[in-house]
Amino acid sequence: MISVATLGSHCALQVLKGAKDEGLKTILVCEKRREKLYRRFQFIDELILVNSFSEILDQRCQSTLEKNNAVMIPHGTLIAQMTSEQIESIKTPIFGNKWILRWESDREMKEKLMREANLPVPKPVTNPKDINNLVIVKRQGAAGGKGYFMAANEQDYNKKRNQLILDGIISKDETLYIQEYAAGVLAYLQFFYSPLKKEVEFFGVDQRHESDIEGLARIPSEQQLKNNKVPSFNVIGNSPLVLRESLLDEVYTMGENFVEASKRLVAPGMNGPFCIEGVYDENAKFTSFEFSARIVAGTNIYMDGSPYYSLLFNEQMSMGKRIAREIKLADTSNQLDMVTT
């Protein structure tokens, strides 16, 4: 029998619950410090205890996963804690496309794929001297917004960068990535592409709540001006959003363009869950600053099914369950290699 495995963090509960609901065995690679938390959940069949997640590369973990016919579901923690080389060297079949995860972590590759997909991206600023409008300054990789800051001009940029170096949040030789700040309503568009059905499904939308930029917006301007701390974009949680129905057609087009572009640039393409992240401006024009080439934690808000999936499935369908359904279908039709890498 096939089993589903993932790392104990991010959206592990949703993924394993979905797999269990589909009748698959569930395995959690779990840090010892989190054992107590994950033992609370009956749908987790087996725990592989580790001191750190990089131990999934060890023989002990790999052979347990192999013995169980496991498919590994990648999520944000895998990307945040392991290098692209490490992820690519995992022997266990990875759901989706493990080669595209590198494109998510590397800023230049990310921008290339987004342009190929025709996504409207914010203008990058290559030299701090050229900062004329409000910009956001980011670190490499999925830092979850930690250490990001806004700047209005070169002087402002240098002041804030120096402050973050002093605070030990960024290092002196770290290459920072600057792009124009896009103001509007945040929308993180969640999709699933089924290589078996050859179809893009729109799953849902979430908004991220980020500290302490949101905290700052809740205090009067007088106190804001007195505050010298550089605000950050550290994700704390997510909440649901539904879009004006008139925006849906364009949403599907963006998802389809992204899938097509991925097929051209990084075989076998964008299989499985992914997310296009951006903002809608006052003219309902979408600007995308980011994508995730795997399940996002924002899907956790729809563990009982999302509004848009209730239109496609006559049952409660979470993203975790959708993934397990695809694995099961691929397994029974001998096509597991189409949904894994």
Write each residue from 220 to 249 as x if it is in contact with ligand ATP (CB under 6 A), else as -, in one continuous string. Answer: -------------x-x--------------
- Short-list 238, 262, 114, CA closest to 187: 238
**Pick from 145, 195, 269, 272: which binds ligand ATP (CB under 6 A)?**
145
Buried b (16+ CB within 10 A) or exposed e, 198-233: eebbbbbbbbbebbbbeeeeeeeeeeeeeeeebbbb
To ligand ATP, the closest distance from the beta carbon of 278 in angstroms equals 8
Q: Does 272 bind ligand ATP (CB under 6 A)?
A: no
- Count of residues near ligand ATP by CB under 6 A: 21
**Pick from 181, 252, 280, 313: which binds ligand ATP (CB under 6 A)?**
181
As to burial, measured by CB atoms within 10 angstroms (0-12 exposed, 13-18 middle, 19+ buried), residue 52 is: exposed
- CB proximity list for 118: less than 8 A, separation 6 or greater: 257, 261
Spatial contact of 193 and 274, defined as CB atoms under 8 Å apart: yes
**Pick from 122, 128, 272, 273: which binds ligand ATP (CB under 6 A)?**
122
Q: Does 157 bind ligand ATP (CB under 6 A)?
A: no
CA dist 64 and 71 (Å) reads: 12
**Pick from 49, 57, 142, 165: which binds ligand ATP (CB under 6 A)?**
142
To ligand ATP, the closest distance from the beta carbon of 225 in angstroms equals 21
* Interacting residues with ligand ATP (CB under 6 A): 122, 136, 138, 142-145, 148, 179, 181-182, 186, 208, 210, 233, 235, 277, 279, 289-290, 292
